[in-house]
Structure 1
Amino acid sequence: MEPFDHKTEFTLTQPPHPDWTPPHSQKLPHPFSKDRETFVKSSDLSAGEMYKMLISSVVPRPIALVSTCSKDNTGAPVNIAPFSYFNLVCHDPPTLMVSINYSRGNQKTPSETFRRQHFVESANHTSIPVPYEIEEDKLSGLTLVPSTYIKPKRVQESLVSFECRLSHCHLIQNAKGETSTGVVFGEVLGFTVKDGVWDPETKQIDMRLYKPVSRLGGNNYGRTESGYEIMRPTI
């Protein structure tokens, strides 16, 4: 295994086929034969097998490092856990979603942050299966500081932290009628961002400084080292 290269910087390149132009009948080269493929029925796979298939094919996935606290002040003051079943829902109102797998005994309600390369080892350590009353920040070396609008504290090491209010939760049941997952929607009330990472003029995050980490299959994670720009077509 190669050592981690801390000097790698985010760069923009040309798209894979910069000379391609419409019409769409002009086929782009494809590395696999369209005639050699297999259909797999979902019910033929166990839950564990389907999990492996999904997390290795739907990639890369952003990771939310979520801090929560109990509504009635019972249990630990703040819990932290990473979730890769996570994404945007819409921008008006600004809403995020995270799916919480009940089968792993984790039924926390999400509130705030993204996970980044700068502290990925500490963030990963928050996934340790400890009792609810154990505070993961004490185990991971992360720093919790007060949020602006919400009760759960935020992770100070995060370059961007979203403070969310629960919009609603949708429970999903499996074939046995058991609740397997809770899909939680949170409205973004505001965010804290490290100076220099967000451009207040363009309202965009600088990828060169942000260094996002993505979840791949198994225990593998990805770095965003390069990107390319493709303009949206117009009529």
Structure 2
Amino acid sequence: MGKKVLIVEDEARIREITSDYFKVSGFEVYEAENGREAMEIFDLNEVDLIILDIMMPELDGWSVCKRIRKKSDVLIIILTARSDEEDKLMGFELGADEYVTKPFSPKVLVARAKTLFKRIEGNVGEKNHLIIIDGIEINKQAYKVKSDNQEIELSPKEYSLFLYLVENKGVVLSREAILNNVWGYDYFGDTRAVDTHIKKLRKKLGNKAQHIKTIIRVGYTFEVNR
């Protein structure tokens, strides 16, 4: 059985075309024409990815994203005609993993979805799947992070960002390098997306956030003084 994707789009033609491309690529597809219907489908079915429009009747995409992030770390790609920088930052603030603007190529959208899955599954099967450092434990097979034996709930993007920082311990990473390696080389968004996710990551890490150092005008580094 392939991955399950929920396509939430109020324009029937766009929804049908997008659905066809995902089906041809082996995905099992659910469709919703508004936010309220999307929440009903999500609550009744296991979904691996959500393609989410913003401007919809009854319940908009921002509200859907916010509600889903309260209960799930499912991958979310926002697909919208809203291309303003502030809208993109809002999407990432709410926990979206990708932001794609219309008009778009359905073929490229499917490719982005596959890249997201590869990113979170790429470490399965490695022998050294545990990273333990100063009370922090990262399980690369289970995609879980613990701090002093307490699990920290991270979104897929936050997990990928934290893993990248830890695996490059002591190395100063520019925002551009982080974007390329965590978001992908085909991402053309603002580097402030990195700052937004670092802020959220620090909040969740609590006292362990001290290890993520800001390098002014450059980027970030993960340091452990022991």
**Alignment TM-score, normalising by the size of structure 1:** 0.22
| Structure having the higher Rg | 1
Q: Which structure is higher in RCO with an 8 Å CA cutoff and minimum separation 6?
A: 1
**Greater percentage in strand:** 1
**Alignment TM-score, normalising by the size of structure 2:** 0.23
